[in-house]
Chain A
C-alpha cells in the first residue's frame, strides 16, 4: 500500500471511529495502535507508552492544565460579573455603550482565562440579560458575546496557541506577541459595529414608536427585537 493510501485510510478510520462517540483520546490511541500492529515492525508497539509519556512531559504542553486551572478559578469567582459591572458604569453614557462594555469585558476576560467557552459563559451570564433588558435584539446580544468569546483564542495567553506552538514547533512567545495586534484590532472593530448596530436598531424602534399609538401598542418601545424581526 502506498504511503498516500495508507495516510488516507488512517485519516478516514480515525474520523469514523471518532464519530461513533468514543472519547477522542481513546479513539486516537486505539486507531494508532491497530495501525502500528498491522503496518509497522512489532517492536514499535512496545514503545507506545514511552512515546506518550515523552510527548506529554513537555513543559510547554503542561502549561495547559495550569491555564485551565486558572480559568476555572476565575470563572467560579465574581471576577466576570465585577468586570462587567465596572465597564458598564464607565460606558453607560456612550450611545451603544452597553455593547462596547460587553466587548471590552469579553476581551479582558479572554486575556485572563485564555479560553473562548469560559469567556462566553462568564460574560454572557451577566451581559445578555442586561442587553435584553435594555432592548437589544436577542440575535445582537448573543452575537456580541459569541464574537467577544472568539477573542479568547487570539489574545494571549491562549490555550489554542500553546497547542499550535507545540504542533508546529514555533516560538510560543512570538505567537503570543503576534496575537496582540489582531486581537486589539478586532476589539475596536467589534465595539464600532456594536455602536453602529445599536443606532440602527434604536432608529427602527423609534420610527415604529413614533408612527402611531397602534403601532406602539403592538411593539413595546423597550423591545427592539419586535422592530427588527
Chain B
C-alpha cells in the first residue's frame, strides 16, 4: 500500500494495472518482477556468503583474495538495479509526500501523473545511456582494473536491463492512471 493510499488520498489505489492490450504487458512485467525479486534475494545472500568467505580466508589462512570483492559488487549492483522495477510497482521508492497533504484529491492525481512522467523521462534517458555504455563495453572488451579483470558488460548489462524494466513499469503505471481518469 502506498503512503498516499494510507492517507486516504488515493481512493482507487490497488494494483495499478492498465486495461486492454497493455494489460498483457503489465502482467508479463509483474510476472518477471516476481522472479527477479527472488533472484535478487539469492544474489544478496550470495554476496554475503562470498564476503564472509573472503574475510575468513584472508584473516585465518592469510590467502590473498582477488575475485571476491568484485563478485559481491556485481551481485549487489545487479540485485539493486533489476529489483528497482518491482520496488516501483509497490511505489516503494522513497519520496517526500509533503505536497500531497495540501492539494485536493483532483490536483493530487494530476501531480502524481506529472511526477510519474518526469520519473519516466529520467529513467528512459538513463536506460538509453546504459545501453550505449553496455554496447561500448562489449565491443571494446572492457574489463575492470583489478587483477581478476572480469568483463564490464556483466554489471552494465544488469544495470541497462534493470533500468529499462523500471522505465517500462513507470510507463505502465502512467497508462493505468490515464485510463482511470477517462471513464
Contacts and interface: CB of A to CB of B under 8 A. Distances in A.
Say whether A and B bind each other: yes
A210 interface: no
Secondary structure class of chain B's binding surface, majority of residues: helix
Most buried by B among A18, A30, A46: A30
A21 B51 contact: no
Contacts of A207: none
A21 B95 contact: yes
A62 B93 contact: no
B122 A49 contact: no
A53 B119 CA distance: 19
A69 B115 CA distance: 29
Secondary structure class of chain A's binding surface, majority of residues: helix
A23 B118 contact: no
B66 interface: no
B159 A21 contact: no
A89 interface: no
A166 interface: no
B77 A53 contact: yes
A1 interface: no
B73 interface: yes
A26 B73 contact: no
A4 interface: no
Contacts, number: 90
Most buried by B among A25, A30, A45, A49: A49
Given A20-B115, A49-B133, A59-B69, A26 B123 contact: yes
A56 B130 CA distance: 14
A21 to B, nearest CB: 5
B48 interface: yes
A21 B112 contact: yes
A53 B126 CA distance: 12
Interface string A18-56: 111111111101100100000000000110111011001
B155 A57 contact: yes
Contacts of A59: 69, 72-73
A26 B57 CA distance: 40
A117 to B, nearest CB: 12
B99 interface: yes
Contacts of A48: 126, 129
A30 to B, nearest CB: 4
A214 interface: no
A65 B133 contact: no
B132 A56 contact: no
Contact of A21 (B76, B98, B122, B133): B98
A168 interface: no
Nearest to A69: B44
B98 A19 contact: yes
A136 B69 CA distance: 50
B118 A66 contact: no
Contact of A26 (B45, B79, B93, B130): B93
Contact of B44 (A25, A30, A66): A66
Contacts of B47: 62, 66
A56 B80 contact: yes
B139 interface: no
B5 interface: no
6 contacts: A26-B119, A33-B125, A46-B132, A49-B126, A62-B72, A66-B48
Interface of A: 17-27, 29-30, 33, 45-46, 48-50, 52-53, 56-57, 59, 62, 65-66, 69
Given A17-B118, A48-B129, A66-B44, 10 more contacts: A20-B99, A26-B93, A26-B123, A29-B122, A53-B133, A56-B77, A56-B80, A66-B47, A66-B51, A66-B76
